[in-house]
Structure 1
């Protein structure tokens, strides 16, 4: 259990708003995907994101299963700008940027709107009952009593904000528990990230309209599974990786790639016992043509 001890000054400086460190939400998304968490609300997002991960992002996912994205990877990434830090930390930042482009960027406008809406709702709680009312209702697992905020944790820790207060920040990807994040610097507030209200994620993380239309149009031509395979081959991969990306067995992936290869839409290069698949120029043109057609329709 972590216990945050508030002074009157800390209470006065406690606010609720979207986190000032956007990297945190990326790391929560990484953790959710690494743990295959979130249940059905995140199922489509998990499948869609997994199918688009590049090689560096797969390495990042493996790292997230070894280290805690928050605070371990957060600390490493935020210190990567220091010239004394090594190449490994700088590579971590590049991997996180790649992951963000696939996992969050396509949905960021909707994610931001959902977080702002939650902040607005919490603001009404403050107006109706004050900061202490906000602290006592922020999450069912958090307890507020006698000037102390208790947060479930694997370790026992007493924390004193020292007059800097607390920043309450909603998160879409922190779906199951609140997390206390260390202050970003001296005289900066601690951050308590908490999940937004349930039932929000599925709608917010729905596939972008243009992408849905392209998949719907290409599906009848080659089949939905083969369309998903083609979309996943924007970066070449093995049969096993391909099956994992779109959620089918390696045997099934092999059958579908055989059909696509016969049609001239993908090519396969074999080396020893490994086969790597890539889109052919024809396959890439077909996929790109459906995508741009739907973008044009969206702007008509």
Structure 2
């Protein structure tokens, strides 16, 4: 179990990341490739990515990455620098500029009491060729295992962010914290958050800001930095539902409702199984925000969805009439 206790100041400073953190997604997705957790959700992705890595000749490089990203209690903190930096290249540059003493200390924790494997020993020494190979492997893996799925990932992040924003607007900082108590195995008791975790641990904030980062490939237990002197980060699961991979594919056949309201508007309605923002819809549909806004206006005027402003965003929900149009229930 992991426990995070908040005082009033720490609770008021609780922060949600704005979007996807590429390096945390690399870490969590590598963990998913090493085990069969949440098989119904991730097995189609595992099969697809495994085949893509093999075609690209990247399996040896990915096996090397798994040595430093083991699906275990610990992996080195230097591999996930910063707090939810959305820029992959900037993040990889930070990884490669890690001081040599930190490389050696953190990599040594992977093999306590044993010598490091040869490849990792060169990396721990700050060897420039080893660092360049690490940077190349991170970028190439991301391009095949994460980047093709960004529309689905961003849609999940947008939906989660809307849910957290609604909780914060309704219940303030306490409401935001309590909203994480709905995750499986997570509990919120006043100002204390408890989550599943491989070992018993208390994350001490000491007056600092905790950044909560959404993790598409994170399952049940959060991910956190091992070194408590670093700015605290907690990566929480988004819990995509089975079939997300197929639903994220562009459909060659238009939905039946498309004959009535048009393909883009029918696809937009299909996405509203749960509330989403205009930005989240635009990302999922690969449309300009202005175009998405026009579609939502037409659907709202027709009574097929309702919209409500929350802070700087607009949250859309499908109505019962919209559901009926999708299901072909109208005669």
- Pairing partner for 2:175 from 133, 140, 147: 133
Aligned equivalent of 2:198: 154
- Matched residues in 1 for 2:30 and 2:45: separation? 12
Gaps of 5+ in 1: 214-300
Q: 1:96 aligns with which of 138, 141, 144?
A: 138
Correspondence list, 1:76-91, <5 A: 76=79, 78=81, 79-82=95-98, 84=100, 85-86=126-127, 87-91=129-133
> For structure 2, which runs of at least 5 residues remain unmatched after alignment?
82-94, 101-125, 254-331
Q: Take 2:174 and 2:70, find their aligned partners in 1: how far apart are those partners?
A: 31
CA distance in 1 between counterparts of 2:206 and 2:246 reads 38
Q: Does 1:117 align with 2:133?
A: no
- For 1:7 and 1:131, locate their aligned partners in 2 and report how far apart those are by CA, in whole Å: 11
User: How many angstroms apart in 2 are the aligned matches of 1:117 and 1:46?
Assistant: 24
1:119: how far off?
0.7
User: How many residue pairs are counted as aligned between the two chains?
Assistant: 209
Alpha-carbon distance in structure 1 between the residues aligned to 2:170 and 2:162: 13
In the other structure, the counterpart of 2:213 is 169
TM-score (normalizing by structure 2): 0.54
Matched, 1:203 2:205: no
Q: Distance in 2 between matches of 1:91 and 1:206?
A: 35
Q: Distance in 1 between matches of 2:166 and 2:26?
A: 28
- 1:105, distance to aligned residue in structure 2 (A): 1.1
1:114-142 CA distances to partner (integer Å, 9 max, x unpaired)? 21221111110122223223323312322
State the secondary structure of the residue aligned to 2:233: strand
Residue 147 of structure 2 aligns with which residue? Answer: 105
Q: Distance in 1 between matches of 2:69 and 2:189?
A: 33
Cα deviation for residue 35 of structure 1 reads 1.2
Provide the C-alpha distance between the structure 2 equivalents of 1:193 and 1:57, rounded to a whole number of angstroms: 27
CA distance in structure 2 between the partners assigned to 1:116 and 1:184 by the alignment: 29
Q: Please give the per-residue CA displacement for 1:132-177, whole angstroms capped at 9, x wherever unaligned.
A: 2332331232222353322322233332212222222222111333
Compared with structure 1, are the counterparts of its residues 182 and 205 closer, same or farther at alpha carbon in structure 2 (3 Å cutoff)?
farther
CA positional deviation for 1:12: 0.7
- Per-residue CA deviations over 1:188-245 (Å, capped at 9, x if unaligned) read 4x2222221441x6335657549x89xxxxxxxxxxxxxxxxxxxxxxxxxxxxxxxx
Report the Cα distance in structure 2 between the residues aligned to 1:126 and 1:5, rounded to whole angstroms: 18
8 Å CA contact 1:106, 1:208 repeated in 2: no
Kept after mapping to 1: 8 A contact 2:195/2:221:
no
Following superposition, the deviation at residue 74 of structure 1 comes to 4.9
SS at match of 2:243: helix
**Residue 40 (str. 1) matches residue 40 (str. 2):** yes
| Superposed counterparts of 1:260-299, under 5 Å | none
For residue 28 of structure 1, report the CA deviation from its aligned partner.
0.8
Contact kept, 8 Å, 1:107 with 1:205, in 2: the verdict is no
Q: Structure 1 209/22 Cα, relative in aligned 2: closer, same or farther at 3 Å?
A: same
Task: Name the CA distance, whole Å, in 2 between partners of 1:105 and 1:7.
Answer: 38
